Amino acid sequence: MIYNRCRDLLINLECTKLSTSVLNLIKNLVIYQYGSESSKIFSEIDIDMLKVCYSKNTKRIRSILYGDNIFITIRASDYMVIPHITFAKYLHKALPYPCYRVVVLNEIVEEILNGYTVFAKHIISGDPRIKPYDEVMIVDERDNLIGVGRALLDYESIITSFRGAAIQIREKYWVMQSYERIQS
């Protein structure tokens, strides 16, 4: 499971308060990856709760924490932002529908919450700009956030495929009891 590996990374990291220069770097990375509207996230959150975590070995930025939760992870090889569910909640509010979303059938949400893969046949729409290896939000038909994951296919392939994995789930947001309350 991808998320457990990320949680284990915190053991080998040194975390400190976020400086202005690192905050600007993170803002620019988020804007580069998700567009200018994603900058709204930084006006919604308490910046003082953000901490930056560096690798003890390489001294590169690896994660940003919001309180005690992993907010984002920075992939060391290409400096791409890997969103975690805390970040995805804010991203979901900041970006208009259907930006960086895949919409799954309501009937399949329980199965998704119990698994780690979203199959192409369960996706009914999404953002046409999705490319393989993009980090996307998984939502139901009412645009409720279900989780975040990595796209394995481009949008056209996802929509036209009848089988095969489309999204590898990183983290899930709703537990089934909460989801059932939202549906009623």
Q: What is the pLDDT of residues 89-140, one digit of tens each?
A: 999 999 999 999 999 999 989 888 888 899 999 999 999 999 999 999 999 9
Task: Output the six-digit token pair for 122.
Answer: 């369960």
Give the pLDDT confidence of 3-21 residue by residue, as tens digits: 445 555 566 688 889 899 9
Q: How would you class 177 by CB atoms within 10 Å of its CB: exposed for 0-12, middle for 13-18, buried for 19 or more? A: exposed
In this prediction, residues 36-53 reach a mean pLDDT of 93
pLDDT at 46: 92
pLDDT at 162: 87
With the C-alpha atoms ordered 112, 117, 122, 123, is the resulting torsion angle positive or negative?
positive
**DSSP-derived 3-state class of residue 143:** coil
Please say if the pLDDT value at position 177 is more than 70: no
Kindly list the structural domains of the chain, giving each domain's residue range(s) and its CATH number in brackets, ordered by start.
2-94 (3.10.450.90), 101-176 (2.30.130.10)
What is the pTM for the complete model shown?
0.84
Q: Which residues pair with 171 in a beta bridge?
A: 148
H/E run at residue 54: strand 50-55
Please say if the pLDDT value at position 54 is more than 50: yes
Which of the two residues, 183 and 63, has the higher pLDDT score?
Answer: 63
- Above pLDDT 90, what percent of the chain? 67
Q: How would you class 151 by CB atoms within 10 Å of its CB: exposed for 0-12, middle for 13-18, buried for 19 or more? A: buried
Task: Output the six-digit token pair for 99.
Answer: 């930006």
- Above pLDDT 70, what percent of the chain? 88
What is the average pLDDT score of the chain? Answer: 87
pLDDT at 110: 87
pLDDT at 10: 60
In this prediction, residues 133-161 reach a mean pLDDT of 94
Gyration radius from the chain CA atoms: 16
Size of the chain in residues? 184
Q: Assign 2 a pLDDT band (cuts: 50, 70, 90).
A: very low
